[in-house]
Structures are given as C-alpha cells and as structure tokens.
Amino acid sequence: MLIVTPLLASVLTLIFIRLSFAVIKLRRANRVGLGSGGNEELERAIRAQGNFAEYVAFGLILIACLELNGAPWWLVCIPGITLTTGRLIHAKGINESPPNFRNRVLGMIFTINTLIALALLNLGWVAYKFFV
C-alpha cells in the first residue's frame, strides 16, 4: 500500500490548484482567453503553472515507483520533500515582479537534483532488490 506518495501527490495537487487559480484570475482580469495576450504577469503565472506540472509529474512517478518497490518510507519522503520545496521556491521566484532569478535557479537546482537522485535511487533499489 502506498502511504507517502498519496500524501505528496495531495500536497502537490493543492499547490498546482493554487497556481491554476492565479492563472484564471489573471486571465479574467485581463480578458485573455488563450495565451498571455502580451501580459507579462499572466505569462509568468502560466509558466509557473506549466513548469510545475512538467516537473512534478516525473517526480511523482519516480516516487511512486520507489515506494511500490518497497523502499523505506524515509527514502521516499526525503526526495518528496525536496521536490516540493524546489517547486515552491521556483513558483515564488517566477511570480515575483520582476522575476527573482535567484529563487528560480535555486528552485530548479532542488528540482533537477531531486529528479536525478530519484532516477538513481530507483535504478539502485531495483538492482539491490534483484540481486538480494
């Protein structure tokens, strides 16, 4: 039974919904039905939401694989926390006006390093389980 993955997925979904509402609010305020209509604030909100979805999907898949293959809960939690932290920092940085590139870069460092770690953890864990 998955325990960590549903908790992480729920938290990440709530963050995604918050980012989606920001896009909806700006679309309504600026009367833009598709794209950003040249509005920089809306463009940032759209990219924060899209970027979040793009990276979180891979992270959750890898976290679920790790948990389904019997990794200890703490080995699943740590990358889940760092992925969530990275995505929050990045979203904050991209939505600031002007964009805070320091936070964007820091958020991406957390995110990319977490995805690399998850890929390696999954490969290592599967090899460990296969040979033990």
Greater confidence (94 vs 59) lies with: 59
Token duo for residue 93: 């940085």
Tell me the whole-structure pTM to 2 decimals: 0.89
- The answer to whether residue 74 scores a pLDDT higher than 90 is yes
Give me the helices (H) in the chain, please: 4-30, 40-68, 73-95, 101-131
Measured distance CA(118)–CA(123) in Å, rounded: 8
Q: What is the pLDDT of residues 13-56, one digit of tens each?
A: 999 999 999 999 988 888 877 877 778 888 889 999 999 999 99
Could you tell me the fold of the domain covering 4-127? Four Helix Bundle (Hemerythrin (Met), subunit A) (1.20.120)
